[in-house]
Structures are given as structure tokens and as C-alpha cells.
């Protein structure tokens, strides 16, 4: 019984500690990514993307400088892929999402 309680406590510490270490902007960006992007993209450090052709967010910095994505997010991302919605973000949303993407590097 004690062993199970210790294991559960350790698990909770491991799960919550990274979230506690995030800045408010990173946390808001993560929330945005989970809400708007996780249906197709992996938005964390380990899981595969639900849609195989959707790049995991943790690898975006290998394709693009993260700072360079700000302009595309402001103007509206359009990939030409039929399942990728076109959307535009507000400046605060861009800052938050870029902060989160940088935290995944």
C-alpha cells in the first residue's frame, strides 16, 4: 500500500513539475496548441502525431527558425493540405505559441 502511494506521488511530481516550470506565455501557448493543433500534430516532446503527415511540433525548429513562424502565423498559415485549416493568430497568441514551440527545442 505504501509502495503504491509513493509510486503515485512520484508520478504526479514527474507529470506536474514541467508544467510548473513553464512561463505563463509557454503555458498559454501549450493550451492553444492542445486546443487547436493536437488533433493532427503532436504538441509534446514524445508522442507521435495523430495524423502521420503532420509534423510534430518538437521538430519544427529543425525545418524553420521558430522566430520566422511569427509572420506566417500573423498573415495566416495556408499549407494547401485539405485537412489543415487556415487561421490567423493575434499578436499575443503568436508570442505565446512561439514561446511554447521554443520550449520544445
Which candidate, 49, 20, 33, 13, places its Cα nearest to that of 102?
33
**Residue 45 pLDDT:** 94
Average pLDDT, the chain: 85
pLDDT tens digits along 15-63: 554 555 889 999 999 999 999 999 999 999 999 999 999 999 999 999 9
Half-sphere exposure at residue 13, Cβ-oriented, CA atoms within 13 angstroms = 6
**pLDDT above 90: residue 2:** no
- pTM of the predicted protein model: 0.76
Backbone angles phi and psi of 2, in degrees to 5: -65, -40
Q: Where are the domains of the chain?
A: 23-103
**pLDDT above 80: residue 82:** no
Distance (Å, whole) CA 95 – CA 77: 15
**Greatest CA separation found in the chain?**
56
Confidence band of 13 (pLDDT split at 50, 70, 90)? low
The class that CATH gives domain 23-103 is: mainly alpha
Amino acid at each position: 500500500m505504501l509502495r503504491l502511494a509513493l509510486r503515485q506521488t512520484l508520478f504526479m511530481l514527474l507529470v506536474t513539475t514541467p508544467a510548473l516550470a513553464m512561463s505563463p506565455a509557454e503555458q498559454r501557448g501549450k493550451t492553444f496548441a492542445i486546443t487547436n493543433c493536437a488533433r493532427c500534430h503532436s504538441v509534446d516532446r514524445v508522442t507521435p502525431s495523430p495524423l502521420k503527415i503532420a509534423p510534430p511540433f518538437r521538430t519544427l525548429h529543425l525545418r524553420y527558425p521558430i522566430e520566422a513562424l511569427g509572420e506566417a502565423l500573423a498573415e495566416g498559415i495556408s499549407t494547401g493540405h485539405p485537412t489543415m485549416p487556415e487561421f490567423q493568430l493575434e499578436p499575443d497568441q503568436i508570442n505565446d505559441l512561439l514561446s511554447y514551440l521554443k520550449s520544445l527545442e
